[in-house]
Amino acid sequence: EADIYQTPRYLVIGTGKKITLECSQTMGHDKMYWYQQDPGMELHLIHYSYGVNSTEKGDLSSESTVSRIRTEHFPLTLESARPSHTSQYLCASSSTSGPGELFFGEGSRLTVL
């Protein structure tokens, strides 16, 4: 069982609100990622981190921001949500010891009205 948790699982909010999606892992992994997933579409990497105080933009441009103050915590923030941000957001982590398995959380499904 992977130990990576996302909250909230589901969120419906109005346009212009600030939201933070939480992601925490208890595996001690240095690498963490945020993917955006739309129905019937591939996952797109929007942010990643190699460790504390390290954050990078992914391949898909996103208006969201991330922070990595603690190894286990990698929150994603939208300062002003818009309907175009409606999507599922998946957090993942992996160990440093080489290529291989991404451990995913169960996702946060965001709907912006």
Partner 1 sequence: AQSVTQLDSQVPVFEEAPVELRCNYSSSVSVYLFWYVQYPNQGLQLLLKYLSGSTLVKGINGFEAEFNKSQTSFHLRKPSVHISDTAEYFCAVSDSQTSYDKVIFGPGTSLSVIP
Contact letters for partner 1, residues 39-78 (x by CB under 8 A): -xxxx-x--x-x-------xx-------------------
Nearer to partner 1, 14 or 100 (CB): 100
Residues of span 74-103 touching partner 1 by CB under 8 A: 90, 92, 94, 98-102
SS (H, E, C) the chain: CCCEEEECCEEEECCCCCEEEEEEECCCCCEEEEEEECCCCCEEEEEEEEECCEEEECCCCCCCEECCCECCECCEEECCCCHHHCEEEEEEEECCCCCCCCEECCCEEEEEC
Q: Which residues of this chain interact with partner 1, rule CB under 8 A?
A: 2, 4, 6, 31, 35, 40-43, 45, 48, 50, 58-59, 90, 92, 94, 98-102, 104-107
